[in-house]
Structure 1
Amino acid sequence: MPVWTSSDRQPPRALRVAVVIAVWAALAAACAEEPGPSIRAATPARPQVSTNGNPAPLSAPAGDGGGSQPVDVYAFDGANQFSPAVRRARQLVYVPNSDSNTVDVIDPARFTVIDHYVTGRNPQHVVPSWDLSTLYVTNDLANSLTPVDPTTGRIKGPNIPVADPYNMYFTPDGKYAIVVAEALQRLDFYDPHTWQLRMHLPVDCPGVDHVDFAADNSFLVATCEFSGKLVKVDLATPSVAGYLTVGGMPQDIKLDPRGEVLYVADMMANGLHLVDPVRFVMTGFLPTGKGTHGLYPTRDATAMYVSNRGEGSVSLVDFATRQVRRTWQLPGGGSPDMGGVSADGSVLWLTGRYNGEVYAISTRDGSLLARIRVGPGPHGACVWPQPGRYSVGHTGILR
């Protein structure tokens, strides 16, 4: 197994993004039409994956592709549907400030920053552990994770060395932590308790970024923002199962409640690609707004909030109709990026990536409840605790 050092790293992310945006701008006309699929390997069989004692998902008759599917992927994520594992967690919002190497901690009841600490160079996301006991700050350029105790809201130990943790996820059975090593162009599988590296999985698509998992937990699909591709990974092996070209600059990715559609935010195409996760083909495109970026299901799983970072708006997409219900504009503008929904479903929390602020948005009518100043470059904020049985990562994807 190769050992990686800082010499393996590519240029800083901001420079890479600027270069890629310039290239895509030159190709904008070519990207205007919906690209056709390009699959490089067959979809593997979908074995059942254990959830380590968690309740088995609800099942429905087999659909296209075979196997049982959960009736509702988000069945355990309803309002205040907490696991006993989070009963002592403080209700806080953790904001990693990528440009100041810090985390700001917000009291959501008072809309006020109550704590601030240094983590490591270039913190990108705050990620709940699979067992919900720890929050990890992914310090991308420091090659480390900072563990945070959610019962105190404070750092609870020394930084953990891992290579290039731009983002992080957990396999649904809890066996592996998957570090998204974007600059190294691979997914790294770690033991989530000892943090020993188990395997590298190189991917043939620059800019590997965000991840979501199949309804039956047998595979994942990751976006690759610098190549306009998606990569599908069989979790039984683990190995790459195929690639799909969607074009543009794919960002966040979320499964619909029935496991039938993957929504892929495209910051360049200003909308959502719709992808059949089993057949791994594109099935449509839905415009939302300029700079489409983050995706967050509602607590009742009937719709999804979509942050349009380039125009300071949030769109609400209906899962049943696959159409935009409405779009809310932030008063005074902004750059809504990543975050999460409050446990009771009443507030959508999003960072203002280019404005050094966090937005608390009412999910009742889209009104701005608060605009909170934080450090420069706020990115993947985590609203905690969240409903659900276990975490598959990012800023709080629970099932």
Structure 2
Amino acid sequence: MITRRTALSLLSLPLLPAQALAETSPPAQAGAPPPLAMVMNSGEATVSVIDMTSKQVINTLPMLREPSHWALTPDRKKLYVSDASGNALFIFDPLTAAPLGHIRIADPYQLAYTPDQKYLVVNALRLDYVDVYDSTTLQLVKRFKSGKFPSHLDFSPDSRFSFHSMQKSNTLVCLDLASMTERWSVPIGKTPAGVLWHNGKLLVCIMGENGIVEADPLTGQITRRQATGEGAHNIFLSPGGSTLYVSNRVGSTLSALDPLSLEVKRDYRIPGGPDDIGIAPDGKIWIALRFNEAVAVLDPLTGAFDTIPVGRSPHGIFLNTEMQKPGELTAERL
């Protein structure tokens, strides 16, 4: 999940479908720590640590109530795992998964750093807040109350604007982080979720309408629609930008989309409610199965996958192999 501001506008011809689906990250470096996956089990307040080579859970780390998502600090020294109902950010060594304590913060559900690393922006889903924190001190700078159930978020490449899906308000909200004001709030569809800045537009998953919409970031107006699958929940950009993946949580499929046309090139049937994903250096896709107490490891060329038992309601997933990559690491750009 990497390089939040990949310059997709500079893409020339897209890769051929087989090449796109087989795209991999750089090979592991000599002396690198063992490859680990950290899975946030929202239903039982634990994080499962998986040895990616053996595909075995090697540790189960306790949380408070409801771990969900992650953010890597700009210096790459700490991995924050949000515990929304526990009102805490748990801190881990991103290479070894060693626990480093936790700090108190109000209802952190989804969170991300602005591309300029000035702010940490947190969607407090339960409390209906969007909180903007100073990234260095973690002092609250501004609290917005812009809708119900703020879910997912992303930013403009210049860090001026943040965009938030409001699941119970059925709206998409734009915040101006320079003036600390709400810029606009528009109806976007029934139960919006994942948000991704892509090619100068916004892509938003609409769970209640089984697909994604493309929206103008200046106005929020919808410019394109694409059906993917039932309960389209989150959207991810692969390394190098050759493929967009949409996890259709209710329909239990993962859709691979062309990044320019947005057409669905392939659907993978993965029972158990695919949610967040990570892509390993070998090209395999690691998928949290929200309703199946497991993680799937998918070969995108063959469609075959293995499953690894974890805790209840696995949600977010972090692969420490991301640390091999240059630039900013984020949960939406793999």
Q: Within 2, Cα distance between the matches of 1:222 and 1:175?
A: 18
**Does structure 1 residue 358 correspond to structure 2 residue 308?**
no
CA offsets 1:216-257 (integer angstroms, 9 cap, x no match):
33212111111110001112122211012112111111122x
Q: Given the two structures, how large is their TM-score scaled by the length of structure 1?
A: 0.74
What is the count of residue pairs matched by the alignment? Answer: 316
* CA deviation after TM superposition for structure 1 residue 396, in Å: 5.5
Greater fraction strand:
2
Give unmatched runs, 5+ long, in structure 2: 12-22
Bigger drift between 381-390 and 165-174 goes to 381-390
Report the equivalent of 2:10: 71
* CA deviation after TM superposition for structure 1 residue 327, in Å: 0.8
CA offsets 1:130-186 (integer angstroms, 9 cap, x no match):
332211111111100110002321101x21000011111111111211121112222
Report the equivalent of 1:147: 91
Report the equivalent of 2:177: 235
1:329 to 249, 253, 269: 269
**Does structure 1 residue 389 correspond to structure 2 residue 332?**
no
Q: Within 2, Cα distance between the matches of 1:307 and 1:357?
A: 15
**Does structure 1 residue 109 correspond to structure 2 residue 45?**
no
* CA deviation after TM superposition for structure 1 residue 385, in Å: 3.4
Assess if the C-alpha contact under 8 Å between 1:105 and 1:114 holds in 2: yes
1:297 to 222, 225, 237: 237
Q: What secondary structure, in the 3-state scheme, does the structure 2 residue paired with 1:268 have?
A: helix
Q: Within 2, Cα distance between the matches of 1:208 and 1:200?
A: 12
Report the equivalent of 2:311: 375
- Percent of pairs with identical residues: 29
Give unmatched runs, 5+ long, in structure 1: 1-54, 60-68, 73-77
Letter in 1 for 2:303: G
1:185 to 128, 135, 139: 128
From the CA coordinates, give the structure whose radius of gyration is larger: 1
Letter in 1 for 2:110: N
Q: Within 2, Cα distance between the matches of 1:327 and 1:80?
A: 22
2:144 to 179, 197, 201: 201
Assess if the C-alpha contact under 8 Å between 1:339 and 1:383 holds in 2: no
Report the equivalent of 2:285: 348
Letter in 2 for 1:287: A
* CA deviation after TM superposition for structure 1 residue 390, in Å: 1.7
Report the equivalent of 2:16: none
Q: Within 2, Cα distance between the matches of 1:235 and 1:285?
A: 28
Within 5 Å, which residues of 2 pair with 1:297-316?
A: 297-316=237-256
Letter in 2 for 1:155: P
Q: Structure 1 307/100 Cα, relative in aligned 2: closer, same or farther at 3 Å? A: same
Q: Given the two structures, how large is their TM-score scaled by the length of structure 2?
A: 0.87
Q: Within 1, Cα distance between the matches of 2:227 and 2:98?
A: 40
* CA deviation after TM superposition for structure 1 residue 207, in Å: 1.0
Report the equivalent of 1:175: 118
Q: Within 2, Cα distance between the matches of 1:81 and 1:173?
A: 25
